[in-house]
């Protein structure tokens, strides 16, 4: 075994909390890091925040002393307002940190409309982090490393004493041993920055990585993950190029077909945990019946909606309208 994808305590210092991305278990995580001080790495989404608060309370860790956001995408940042509201109801507060580059993006979260047709809460009062800055947790330190590509404001946090690195979304989405998607996402994907990020991360002697989507990866899998990330990103980019050449960038069925043929992922079974996602299932291609019978339907729907987002990242990067 080279990964832990079950929520709970994963090392002496780290607890994985599943915030149930879009109501689905096993695809969206935040991490509680505990030393003398307690720090949450990312907040999860707005819908996921009640679950994060509940879990932190069960762990006697609410509110944490600090929340560090790896980047300003909605599913990492939009939990902050609820976490702050719940803390203030108890006359408590906590410090929120993010890259200095994330601050204007947090202050105006409307760019997230590229992902979803809804409104997003703007987030202010953020303490800016820049390359090399250390967040001291009294007995453990987290070093800020700029890792752009997936998003221009993305940072990783390196715990040198445990040789563990929190990578957020910077190198991609890996929800199973052989289910790895690239970090290509709108609206700020930058291929050159991503390659530079991989080279930079290769200089860091980490033994384990924590991914927001999803889990704690160690051993040989962690050692190979940067090369694997580059391979899947190149493969995925090629899929979008082929779709573009065929005039089928907007044909999701075509994209899924190419993806399954070329990437050959082993899609894990995912469980729907909330009514919301079950409700949504009924409306996406009338898949309600299939969802009941077909255990992989949830993963397939998520793959389709994820590819729909990713192709927007490709189009923006290529200047395609």
CB of 122 to Zn ion, least distance (A): 18
Among the residue ranges 18-26, 67-75, 78-86, 99-107, the one whose residues contact Zn ion (CB under 5 A): 67-75
Residues 6+ apart with CB under 8 A from 221: 2, 3, 177
Size of the site for Zn ion (CB under 5 A): 2
What character string, x for contact with Zn ion (CB under 5 A) and - otherwise, covers 169-198?
A: x-----------------------------
DSSP string, 234-249: HHHHHHHHHHHHTT-T
- Nearer to Zn ion among residue 34 and residue 42 (C-beta): 42
What character string, x for contact with Zn ion (CB under 5 A) and - otherwise, covers 209-248?
A: ----------------------------------------
Between the two ends of the chain, the Cα-to-Cα distance in Å is 44
Q: Which of residues 71-90 bind Zn ion (CB under 5 A)?
A: 73
List residues bridging with 65 in a β-sheet: none
CA Rg value for the chain: 19
Q: Distance of alpha carbon 24 from its chain centroid, rounded?
A: 14
256: left (phi over 0), alpha (psi -120 to 50) or beta: alpha
Q: Which of residues 290-319 bind Zn ion (CB under 5 A)?
A: none
Among the residue ranges 16-24, 103-111, 167-175, 223-231, the one whose residues contact Zn ion (CB under 5 A): 167-175
What character string, x for contact with Zn ion (CB under 5 A) and - otherwise, covers 20-59?
A: ----------------------------------------
Q: How far apart are CA 109 and CA 242, in angstroms?
A: 32
Among the residue ranges 31-39, 49-57, 134-142, 168-176, the one whose residues contact Zn ion (CB under 5 A): 168-176
DSSP string, 119-139: --------EEE-TT-EEE-SS
Residues 6+ apart with CB under 8 A from 283: none
- Nearer to Zn ion among residue 5 and residue 213 (C-beta): 213
The answer to whether residue 159 forms part of the interface with Zn ion (CB under 5 A) is: no
Interaction site with Zn ion (CB under 5 A): 73, 169
């Amino acid at each position: 075994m080279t990964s832990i994808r079950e929520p709970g305590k994963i090392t002496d210092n780290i607890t994985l909390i599943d915030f149930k991305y879009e109501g689905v278990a096993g695809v969206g995580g935040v991490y509680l890091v505990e030393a003398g001080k307690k720090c949450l790495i990312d907040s999860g989404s707005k819908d996921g925040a009640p679950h994060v608060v509940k879990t932190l309370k069960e762990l006697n860790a609410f509110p944490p002393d600090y929340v560090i956001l790896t980047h300003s995408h909605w599913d990492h940042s939009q939990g902050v307002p609820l976490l702050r509201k719940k803390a203030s109801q108890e006359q408590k507060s906590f410090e929120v940190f993010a890259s200095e580059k994330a601050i204007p993006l947090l202050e105006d979260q409307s760019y997230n409309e590229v992902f979803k047709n809804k409104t997003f809460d703007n987030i202010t009062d953020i303490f800016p982090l820049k390359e090399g800055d250390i967040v001291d947790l009294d007995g453990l330190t987290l070093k800020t490393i700029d890792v752009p590509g997936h998003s221009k404001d993305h940072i990783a946090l390196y715990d040198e004493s445990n040789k563990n690195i929190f990578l957020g979304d910077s190198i991609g989405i890996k929800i199973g041993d052989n289910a790895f998607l690239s970090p290509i996402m709108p609206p700020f994907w930058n291929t050159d920055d991503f390659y530079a990020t991989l080279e930079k991360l290769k200089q860091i002697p980490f033994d384990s990585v924590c991914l927001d989507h999803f889990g704690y990866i160690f051993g040989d899998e962690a050692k190979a993950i940067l090369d694997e990330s580059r391979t899947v990103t190149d493969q995925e980019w090629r899929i979008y190029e082929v779709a573009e050449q065929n005039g089928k960038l907007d044909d999701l069925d075509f994209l899924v077909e190419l993806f399954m043929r070329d990437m050959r992922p082993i899609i894990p079974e995912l469980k729907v945990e909330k009514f919301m996602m079950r409700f949504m299932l009924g409306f996406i291609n009338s898949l309600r019946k299939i969802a009941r019978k077909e255990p992989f339907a949830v993963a397939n729907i998520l793959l389709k909606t994820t590819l729909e987002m990713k192709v927007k990242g490709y189009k923006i990067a290529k200047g395609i309208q």
